[in-house]
Amino acid sequence: MIPLRDGVRLYARIWLPEEVQQTPVPAVLEFLPYRRRDGTAARDESTYPVFAQSGYAGVRVDLRGHGDSQGLIEDEYSSTELADAIEVIAWIAEQSWCTGSVGMMGISWGGFNSLQVAALRPPALKAVISLSTSTDRYNDDIHYKNGCHLAANFYWSATMLSYGSRPPDPDVVGEAWKSQWLSRLEKIDLPLLTWVTHQRRDQYWEHGSVGDDWSALVVPILAIGGWADGYRNAPPDLAANLATPTKAINGPWIHKYPHFAWPKPRLDFHAEAVRWWDRWLKGVSNGADQLPAYRAYLSEKVPAGSEWRSDEPGNWVALDEWPSTDIQQRVFYFTEKGTLGAQPNNEALHTISTPQDCGVSSGEYFTLKPDAELAGDQREDDADSLCFETDPLDGPLDILGRPTVQLDVGIDQKYGNLAIRLVDVHPDGTCHRVSLGVINLAHRAGNKKPMAMRVGKIINVTVRLDETGHCFQVGHRIRVAISTSYWPYILPPPFVVTATLKTGDKSALHLPVLMHRKEAVMPKPGSAELVPVYLMISQPVSRRAVEKDFATDMTRFLIHEDTGLAVHPQNGIQFQEIRRETWEIDRKDPLSLTAEAHLTALRSRDSWHVRTEIKQTLSVDECFYFLEAELEAYEGDQQVLHRTWEKAIKRDFT
């Protein structure tokens, strides 16, 4: 139990080396809202005993208002959260078992706040490991991307309302658990109301965007990401911009720690982390500071489709410096015949207005499994799109970095979205999405002050696609697919958009080509059973489906995720989450967009049974987003609280 200055107490789970009373050790902090006694328990138990055996204290703390910790969470990465983390770091450094040196790490939320706390420079914080992270909260998180409104923004709001409404554990806080829970339930707010209010990159998103001031980061940083995840841009971005010792890794993985992530090959994260901590928390001269600036996996022959992707063919490469002079730009011009050529040819106009349901194979931004959550075979979406592609390649082509697409383009509305995909077309016709870029054309000159398009006027825009490492094989084709919709990945504008693209010397694909491979040796985990397996009372269920009603032209995208009912072997908590989500749209009418999310969270032990139900809906008209939500909480069969939210928020160049 960690006391804060304002009287709030945060709860921690701490792993200590056996000899710590005689020999103090450095400590590693992970600071999260995801409940240390059930939510992240298994993955914590996979890592912190290893750290303890290597001479580190592991300190896993629940944010205020989550798990057993007192108080109320305000928002993601609030000033209060960061101030709490600084207090926690100081508390750790003062403990008798700590040398005074602290590292901070985490994936996703914990990766974000590790960087943000580091930028505030608490004295005891000496190093960071940040995974699946972001340096730009507006353009590189789950809410918005280049002015486009991500559907994941909706899902994440329901998820965080669900997390924030779960009760503390009576075994930890005693009889006060219910009053603490009810206070939490009565005061928590719907996150989506805040996030949809800030549709531009204003001060709200600037807060915590560490890329706005690189000089604030002075501690050594190891940054890790995965190609199968939405969070893939930050590791090389950090390596390219920081003066402090910084190393970047991007592997083939989903949104998981790489020692148990899919697809394989996995990385021995424990060994990688301990080497980093040894160098910067213990001062061991072990060569961690001499590692290549960027180690990346070059995927190849990636199967297109939604089947479980257990392995991804490819090779690890190392670049001693980043940016690297070994990366050279290769240009492919869009031609009047729909090809990608080495030279520009005649100017020609191509028009495209995609159905509103183009994008059903887009996958999710936040990927937790290597199956239908990933982008599927792109043939259906590409068939509705404007495509340009090369002839079959006569030699392999390695790319590493951020592809860019330059376009002469105009639209028939004051604003509209473009989704641009780099696709590997296999000889059998299947199509794997290599990288994605989206833009709301009103944000073409920046995300702070959108500017309406002049209807019908052709202008030149540049779109940066996401970081990627990929080898296009002999006989494969490189394709660029362009659409005016990409649902449900991004939400549509309130009108049908037709885009006109002009080919010529100003419309081109720029690929970052790796000229020479230098092999990187990346150790794999020594054991396949790295994460504890808990007793399952009921088994997980995962379903994703697309329904098309040809009579009404409506398309529905359906998600059903059930974690199954698990039991923690030490504390006895039984826990389960169920997510049901439905997206619906008329192929011809963007104003038909609706979304519904229903999240159930259960916790129990012996005679203690609690449940929360979150229901959240979204609909639109030409001017507004209409948001509704409902929170129900139950102790046993008795409802103890019922709250609702309802608000219309004006659309702002979305």
Q: Tell me: do 410 and 465 sit in the same domain.
A: yes
Helix/strand/coil percentages in the chain, nearest 5: 20, 35, 45
Give the residue among 507, 500, 494 at the shortest CA–CA distance from 462: 507
Question: What stretch of H or E contains 500?
Answer: strand 499-502
| Whether 66 and 128 share a structural domain | yes
Q: Does the structure show a pLDDT above 70 at 654?
A: no
Residue 288 domain flag: yes
The enclosing domain of 71 has a CATH number of 3.40.50.1820
Which 3 state secondary structure label does DSSP give 126? strand
pLDDT at 313: 97
The token pair that represents 619 in the structure block: 């609909």
Q: List pLDDT tens digits, range 16-29.
A: 999 998 999 999 99
523: in domain: no
pLDDT surpasses 90 at 520? yes
303 within some domain: no
pLDDT at 527: 75
* pLDDT at position 315: 98
- Same domain? For 99 and 183 the reply is no
Q: How confident is the model at residue 653 (pLDDT cuts 50, 70, 90)?
A: confident
Counting Cβ atoms within 10 Å, is residue 343 exposed (0-12), middle (13-18) or buried (19+)?
A: exposed
Residue 522: the pLDDT is: 97
CA–CA dist 43, 41 (Å, integer):
6
Q: Tens digits of per-residue pLDDT, 271-298?
A: 999 999 999 999 999 999 999 999 999 9
Quick one: 563 and 491 in the same domain?
Answer: no
CA distance 29 to 78: 18
**Which range has the worst mean pLDDT, 338-347, 429-438, 574-583, 620-629?**
338-347
Contact 383, 377 (CB under 8 A): no
Residue with tokens 């083939």: 252
- Residue 154's pLDDT is what? 98
pLDDT per residue as tens digits for the range 461-516: 999 999 999 999 999 999 999 999 999 999 999 999 999 999 999 999 999 999 99
Query: Is the residue at 297 inside a domain?
Result: no
**Three-state secondary structure of 549-581:** ECCCCEEEEEEEEECCCEECCCCCCEEEEEEEE
Same domain, 387 and 429: yes
Q: How far apart are CA 424 and CA 413, in angstroms?
A: 31
For position 530, what pLDDT does the model report? Answer: 83
Out of 302-311, 349-358, 606-615, least confident range: 302-311
Residue 311 inside a domain? The answer is no
Q: Are 349 and 321 in contact (CB under 8 A)?
A: no
- H/E segment holding residue 181: helix 177-187
Torsion sign over Cα 276, 279, 280, 281 = positive
pLDDT(528) > 70? no
Partners of 322 in the β-ladder: none
**According to the model, what pLDDT value does residue 21 have?**
87
Regarding whether 171 and 134 lie in a shared domain, the answer is no
Q: Residue 128: inside a domain, yes or no?
A: yes
Summarize the confidence of residues 240-253 as an average pLDDT: 98
522 in any annotated domain:
no
Final residue belonging to a domain, choices 273, 292, 311: 292
On average, the pLDDT of the chain sits at 97
Confidence at residue 305, expressed as pLDDT on a 0 to 100 scale: 85
Do 332 and 460 lie in one domain? The reply is yes
Q: Please state the domain count of the chain.
A: 3
Residue 103 counted as domain residue: yes
**Residues 157 and 221 placed together within one structural domain of the fold:** no
Pairing of strands 12-15, 535-536: unpaired
| Together in a domain, 230 and 337 | no
Q: What is the pLDDT of residues 113-142, one digit of tens each?
A: 999 999 999 999 999 999 999 999 999 999
Whole-number pLDDT of residue 423: 98
pLDDT tens digits, one per residue of 177-234: 999 999 999 999 999 999 999 999 999 999 999 999 999 999 999 999 999 999 999 9
Task: Provide the pLDDT confidence category of residue 300 given band limits of 50, 70 and 90.
Answer: very high
pLDDT in tens, 73-118: 999 999 999 999 999 999 999 999 999 999 999 999 999 999 999 9
Residue 228 shares a structural domain with residue 336? no
Using the predicted structure, report yes or no on whether residue 616 has a pLDDT greater than 90. yes
In terms of domains, do 379 and 403 share one? yes
The answer to whether 239 and 293 are in contact (CB under 8 A) is yes
The domain in which residue 176 lies consists of: 148-198+535-568+572-654
Q: Do 491 and 545 lie in a common domain?
A: no
